[in-house]
Chains A and B, each alone.
Chain A
């Protein structure tokens, strides 16, 4: 565990997206329209700006377990990406201390042609885990996935349950300071699900800051100590689950 405690600070953060269409993604069109000076063309080409987040300010400290709720399009995913350091806000300032890990798409980086073992390397490299650490975790990951001999077979030959088990085992092998999730990870058959649940809870207990976006009121109630309700890219309500959840779910 790192010496400095994790913290996140957002100050007047705003995010604006350009939304491109086929025409604005083309350099040829851009050049043509500036040459012909056609007014109609230019009107159609003007790309739309969508406001994803609007003047968000809040602080998170070690020990915070934050639930993110809100309707589709309220800015949850955008905020998760800002917190993971993927989006740099177009306005305001973000300060993230501590090493963050986003468990959003655990299948990312997996190559179906490669063996299970190679995929452990690939997925770990993708997440930015140094090779020494991957080497140290290797046996534990294989053990946890329960794949046994199959670990040296190509990933595409696995059943979908086995594929999920491997992806889960690699993705949760390292403990981040800041854990960012879009919905809870649950996977596999009954036996594996129990094991996975235990590991998730373990991870949650050891992570300093957890941010979880979810549509499940019970999950938020059980795992979070603070809930942010987003609406139109702004915080509608910020408080303990007991007050925000009834207000949101009605």
Chain B
């Protein structure tokens, strides 16, 4: 049993290493969709950024008023959370479709399957980079100071990205076999959006809800390790611990799982 797991993990790792060695593939194919958007209109993916900006403004107005929050804290808080959530949801959605939508490629060219997942991740990072432009603009608008501790958001982003990596790898395999999982994941993400402090803050619920229900949600920590440093707040040790452990445990699970099933994926398409 242990031996099978180890062999599968090595198989999965081999595939992953091949993707890393052929990173030009990920770069060229991942950039393509963005390039197409630039071709259709000069502002390209910034159209999405503009949409996001409008959404943030509207939500800030509604919820800020509703909850009676200070706008110079709430709007930056909401902007960061919403942009990160969009990134998370879009990446996981693309991860689900990474294999099932690439049947043509998988059945005609020998390509490491993890490359297709890497393409989905890379493309969404590029879109995130476009959307993230809103954050400094919002900070500027409210003249919010940014300290050196904001740099802690970078390891936070790396941890988020690592976690999305194993989630996508796992989901890509499962969704290739069970096509309805894509829909299930979408539904779960929709619910999680409301359960995660993005459009509401922890302070608002402190008296009404047991904290444990929020703390159990890994997505809270994944967002917190990026949002808190940017807002100049200390990151709770538990958040670093949860995100790092989740990344380790997740990869330890996803690698043998992927290694075991990757040979079956072409037959499922």
Q: Report whether B28 and A125 are in contact in the complex, using a CB–CB cutoff of 8 Å.
A: yes
Q: Report whether A125 and B29 are in contact in the complex, using a CB–CB cutoff of 8 Å.
A: yes
Chain B residues with Cβ below 8 Å from A198 are: none
Q: Report whether A109 and B105 are in contact in the complex, using a CB–CB cutoff of 8 Å.
A: yes
* Given known A-B contacts A25-B178, A105-B104, A127 and B109 have beta carbons under 8 A apart: yes
Task: Kindly state whether residue A44 has any CB partner on chain B within 8 Å.
Answer: no
Q: Mark B96-120, 1 if CB is under 8 A from A, else 0.
A: 0000000011111111000000000
Of B32, B39, B108, B267, the contact of A108 (CB 8 Å cutoff): B108
Q: How far is the CA of A97 from the CA of B250 in the complex (A)?
A: 34
B179 to A, closest residue via Cβ: A25
Q: Mark A121-134, 1 if CB is under 8 A from B, else 0.
A: 11001111011000
Chain B: number of interface residues, binned into ranges: 20 to 34
Chain A residues with Cβ below 8 Å from B39 are: 113-114, 154
Task: Kindly state whether residue A20 has any CB partner on chain B within 8 Å.
Answer: yes
Q: How far is the CA of A111 from the CA of B28 in the complex (A)?
A: 12
Q: How far is the CA of A28 from the CA of B180 in the complex (A)?
A: 7
Q: Report whether B108 and A104 are in contact in the complex, using a CB–CB cutoff of 8 Å.
A: yes
Task: Kindly state whether residue B212 has any CB partner on chain A within 8 Å.
Answer: no
Chain B residues with Cβ below 8 Å from A26 are: 178-180
Task: Kindly state whether residue A84 has any CB partner on chain B within 8 Å.
Answer: yes
* Given known A-B contacts A111-B32, A131-B24, A87 and B267 have beta carbons under 8 A apart: yes
Chain B residues with Cβ below 8 Å from A118 are: 32, 35
Chain B, interface SS category? helix
Q: Report whether B28 and A131 are in contact in the complex, using a CB–CB cutoff of 8 Å.
A: yes
Task: Kindly state whether residue B40 has any CB partner on chain A within 8 Å.
Answer: yes
Q: How far is the CA of A28 from the CA of B178 in the complex (A)?
A: 9
Q: Report whether A128 and B267 are in contact in the complex, using a CB–CB cutoff of 8 Å.
A: no
Chain B residues with Cβ below 8 Å from A102 are: 108-110
A17 to B, closest residue via Cβ: B267
Q: Report whether A27 and B109 are in contact in the complex, using a CB–CB cutoff of 8 Å.
A: no
Least Cβ–Cβ distance between A86 and chain B, in angstroms: 6
Task: Kindly state whether residue B155 has any CB partner on chain A within 8 Å.
Answer: no
Task: Kindly state whether residue B266 has any CB partner on chain A within 8 Å.
Answer: yes
Q: For chain A residues 60-115, which have a beta carbon within 8 Å of chain B? A: 81, 84-88, 100, 102, 104-105, 108-109, 111, 113-114
Task: Kindly state whether residue A51 has any CB partner on chain B within 8 Å.
Answer: no
Q: Report whether A25 and B180 are in contact in the complex, using a CB–CB cutoff of 8 Å.
A: yes
Chain A residues with Cβ below 8 Å from B40 are: 113
User: 17 pairs across A/B with beta carbons < 8 Å?
Assistant: A25-B177, A25-B178, A25-B180, A27-B181, A28-B180, A84-B110, A86-B108, A87-B266, A113-B36, A113-B39, A118-B32, A118-B35, A125-B25, A125-B28, A128-B110, A128-B111, A131-B24
